[in-house]
Structure 1
Amino acid sequence: MRKIFTGLFIVFCLGAQAQFWTETSSGFSTNFRGLSKFHVVDANLAWAIGYDGFNTANNIQQFSKTDDSGLTWSSGVFDLGDTSLGIADLSGVDSNTAFVAAYPRQAGQQGGIWKTTDAGVTWTQQTAASFNNVASFPNIVHYFDANNGLAIGDPTNGYWEIYTSNNGGTTYSRIPSASLPAPLNNETGYLSQFAYSGDSIWFTTSAGRIIHSANRGVTWSVYQSPLSDFEGTTIFGDISFATSNRGVIQDNAGNIFKTTDGGQTWNAVVFSGTGTPYGGAISYLPNTFHMVSTGGEANFAGSSYSVDDGTTWINIDTDQHVGVAFFNDTVGYSGSFSNATNNLGVFRYTGSVLNEASVEELGEVQLFHNNQTGQLEVATGQQFKNLRIYDLHGQLGLTSTSTLISTNLIPSGVYIAQIFTDTGLKTSKFIKY
């Protein structure tokens, strides 16, 4: 189902804090091009979709990509053979290879999946992902690697239209209805409204549900979220996952909900700080407790971040941001609007605050050190016994029977934490700045 960009552009705000974002040209020669729906492939490469930020009703088929961590961007055109098809989603594989999902905007049109192998110069339809029902509506394309991918659309013939490929799109197989949760009456998905981590993928629906596969689409489960609709007229939201179990939902009012069981259950977060989530897009930094929130609505625009799993928020700016995506604690992007004269159009992360806390996943034990507050926290569903901290010379620095311990009394350096639970010993390294 189509997701409409409703936010108006703000004319080239230059106030973004330099210690976090630096705005650069998005590669579009036409002014007022918005950039959104980033797919960050690796530390150097990212693809993103362009749209008309002056009049969102205008349909354009453009993209931009970077090969140098966002320093420069080059734009291109989705040449799909039908200029009136809408662009739903984009999944990059490498600098030359990407997939795009396009949806019908007029009666009689057929959407589908297209692939480029020449950096976007030409696009070839992947006809095996047929989407040829009158009700077919592709929303998502996601490739886990060069060969294995998914194409996800609204229900047709009574079940979700989802295709898998294990050969880079040469062939696709539709997931049988027996492997999928049944759709509710009039339930649909949304354009590029999904999250992924490892082999897991989640997509959201108009009924506020989250449909999840933990094995690249072989089998699926469904969970009810705290929202009634992920793109409703009054309530909508975004979703992101740090790991296969730990995820977050942000609604358009800036409320935050978290899960630690892959999306089965959600709990509201009571947060504080100098900032607030902005209600537009949200992105975890993979495998950390860090997240960045952005807002694109004219009356709720800005960006903020949290380094303690959404409990405390620090404001960054009040500029308009369209989408957000992070690869790690040094590479991340947020969309803006092009101005060819002033070389604007995309924010890239150039700060250091997101690596001031270190996190390591230790199976069912999580170790989190916040350098800003000087606190080390152990999170585990196991029975915690005690914690010992050693420096790299093997000298015992601290011991504790609490899962929350101050590190303000130890000097800066690299430390080894030994975490004792009822199942044994877990060891992790952290840095005290």
Structure 2
Amino acid sequence: MSWGLCAAALTAALAAPADAVPPDRHRQGERPVWTLTDTGTDARFRGLAAVDRRTAWVAGTRGTVLRTTDGGHRWRDVSPVGAVREGLEFRDIEAFDSRHAVALAIGEGEASRVLRTDDGGVTWTESFRNTDARAFYDCLAFFDRRHGLAMSDPVDGKYRILSTDDGGRNWRVLPSAGMPEARDGEASFAAGGQCLVASGPGDVWLATGGAATARVLHSADRGLSWSAAESSIPAGDPARGVFALAFRDRRHGIAVGGDYRAGLPSPDSAAVTGDGGRSWRGSSVPPAGYRSGVAWLPHDRSGALAVGPTGTDLSRDGGRTWHTVDRGSFDTVACTPDGGCWAAGETGRVARTEAWNLR
């Protein structure tokens, strides 16, 4: 049932009709929030690694990986040859700079893999291939250039965590003794590479859905021991729960999600925490619908963006209230310390903006 939740989400997302998504549009006099770039592909990009205002990586369907080093004016196809041939589904990518990146492909059994490049995508090395048919990996997160984690939906009743201490060259499964028991039907969503996020040298959070309630799990020791807290975002269905997390430090975080099925309402689709995820309270004015990506604006203690198939929402008060600023479809979003923000999604859509445009 754990990997079944992710498989269902994958199938439904790829089958969603394009005309169900509103086109980009703005009220008269409004300036556009996002500037779309020409990626030259119709792949769906749920993996996004924003390095700075000029450098970003995206990863998506059919084994596609692209990289830009000039702010999106030109995208270079750096897709791993084997991934393209096998049609792997990339759902997360983490990049340290313009040359070093780690990408996660999802799926049942051996479809879940980790690949790494040290030369800007000219060559890739497979550093992990899942051989357990019960595992289904969803997300990656790195604390620094060396230490990182990957997570799988529950196996034997607990989330499975992979760890690396050499930048993704080698991985090992962490002991499960410190992981709470998963609830019936609980799993995570490989929707935008933000179901597992890290902040600082040791804190990491994991988002869940599908069970009676949506939870956020937290570890302060790089995945060895975990605590769990219920969020205010509705679950109770395999299509509902927390889809994405963002932490600006080890205490202040935002969770977004809802129901990914097109046309269904997603009330209470955002929540905030000020105590590191021990407790969550719902946004008083949530985003306009289901959201699969969220990011804090750089050098801003209260600004944040949330994205989903029906638009982009902006919060200027730390996630307590949101308002829609763009109607275009995106699956994931990221901002960089030098003031750049990037978003990626279906039909090759990748866009960027300057954070100051949103203040």
* Aligned 8 A contact 1:46 1:67 in 2: yes
| 1:323 match | 332
| Change in CA separation of 1:67 and 1:215 when aligned onto 2, cut-off 3 Å | farther
Q: Distance in 2 between matches of 1:132 and 1:216?
A: 23
Q: CA-to-partner distance for each residue in 1:34-87, whole Å, 9 max, x for gaps?
A: 333322233432222233xxxxxxxx1102222234343323323346614432
Matched, 1:210 2:216: yes
CA drift at 1:271: 3.0
Matched, 1:290 2:303: yes
Q: Could you tell me the TM-score, scaled by structure 2's length?
A: 0.79
Q: Distance in 2 between matches of 1:156 and 1:234?
A: 20
1:2-401 alignment runs, 5 A limit: 2=6, 3-4=9-10, 5=13, 7-9=16-18, 13=23, 15=25, 18-25=31-38, 27-28=39-40, 30=41, 32-51=42-61, 60-80=62-82, 83-105=86-108, 109-127=110-128, 131-191=130-190, 192=193, 193-199=195-201, 200-206=203-209, 207=211, 208-229=214-235, 232-233=238-239, 237-252=243-258, 253=266, 255=268, 256-271=270-285, 276-280=287-291, 281-286=293-298, 288-296=301-309, 301-328=310-337, 330-337=339-346, 345-350=349-354, 352-354=356-358, 356=359
More strand by share: 1
* Aligned 8 A contact 1:230 1:236 in 2: no
Q: CA-to-partner distance for each residue in 1:189-219, whole Å, 9 max, x for gaps?
A: 3323233322322111233221222233243
Q: Distance in 1 between matches of 2:163 and 2:281?
A: 32
**SS in structure 1 at match of 2:352:** strand
**SS in structure 2 at match of 1:352:** helix
CA drift at 1:93: 2.0
Q: Distance in 2 between matches of 1:33 and 1:169?
A: 25
Amino acid at match of 2:304: M
| Change in CA separation of 1:214 and 1:46 when aligned onto 2, cut-off 3 Å | farther
Amino acid at match of 1:145: D
* Aligned 8 A contact 1:50 1:64 in 2: no
| Change in CA separation of 1:173 and 1:263 when aligned onto 2, cut-off 3 Å | same
* Aligned 8 A contact 2:208 2:243 in 1: no
Amino acid at match of 2:352: R
| Change in CA separation of 1:138 and 1:320 when aligned onto 2, cut-off 3 Å | closer
Q: CA-to-partner distance for each residue in 1:92-127, whole Å, 9 max, x for gaps?
A: 12212211222335xx64532221222223321214
| Change in CA separation of 1:159 and 1:89 when aligned onto 2, cut-off 3 Å | same
Q: Distance in 1 between matches of 2:135 and 2:290?
A: 30
Gaps of 5+ in 2: 259-265
Q: CA-to-partner distance for each residue in 1:262-314, whole Å, 9 max, x for gaps?
A: 11111122239xxx544323222256210112231xxxx22231222234444
Q: Which of the pair has more CA radius of gyration? A: 1
| Change in CA separation of 1:14 and 1:229 when aligned onto 2, cut-off 3 Å | closer
| 1:374 match | none
* Aligned 8 A contact 2:53 2:338 in 1: no
* Aligned 8 A contact 2:116 2:125 in 1: yes
Q: Could you tell me the TM-score, scaled by structure 1's length?
A: 0.67
Q: Distance in 2 between matches of 1:15 and 1:351?
A: 20
Q: Distance in 2 between matches of 1:319 and 1:292?
A: 13
| Change in CA separation of 1:332 and 1:174 when aligned onto 2, cut-off 3 Å | same
Q: Distance in 1 between matches of 2:355 and 2:47?
A: 22
> Which of 1 and 2 has higher RCO (CA within 8 Å, sep 6+)?
2
Q: Distance in 2 between matches of 1:70 and 1:13?
A: 21
Q: Distance in 1 between matches of 2:95 and 2:53?
A: 13
| Change in CA separation of 1:227 and 1:13 when aligned onto 2, cut-off 3 Å | closer
Amino acid at match of 1:217: G
CA drift at 1:235: 5.4
**SS in structure 2 at match of 1:179:** coil
C-alpha RMSD of the superposition: 3.0
Q: CA-to-partner distance for each residue in 1:113-146, whole Å, 9 max, x for gaps?
A: 221222223321214xx53222122212223332
* Aligned 8 A contact 2:48 2:92 in 1: no
**SS in structure 2 at match of 1:126:** strand
Q: Distance in 2 between matches of 1:222 and 1:235?
A: 15
Mean Cα displacement is larger for which, 38-47 or 8-17?
8-17
| Change in CA separation of 1:317 and 1:155 when aligned onto 2, cut-off 3 Å | closer
CA drift at 1:176: 0.9
| 2:263 match | none
Q: Distance in 2 between matches of 1:121 and 1:65?
A: 11
More helix by share: 2
| Change in CA separation of 1:80 and 1:103 when aligned onto 2, cut-off 3 Å | farther
Q: Distance in 2 between matches of 1:230 and 1:66?
A: 40
| Change in CA separation of 1:230 and 1:114 when aligned onto 2, cut-off 3 Å | farther
CA drift at 1:338: 5.1
Q: Distance in 1 between matches of 2:237 and 2:80?
A: 26
| Change in CA separation of 1:80 and 1:266 when aligned onto 2, cut-off 3 Å | same
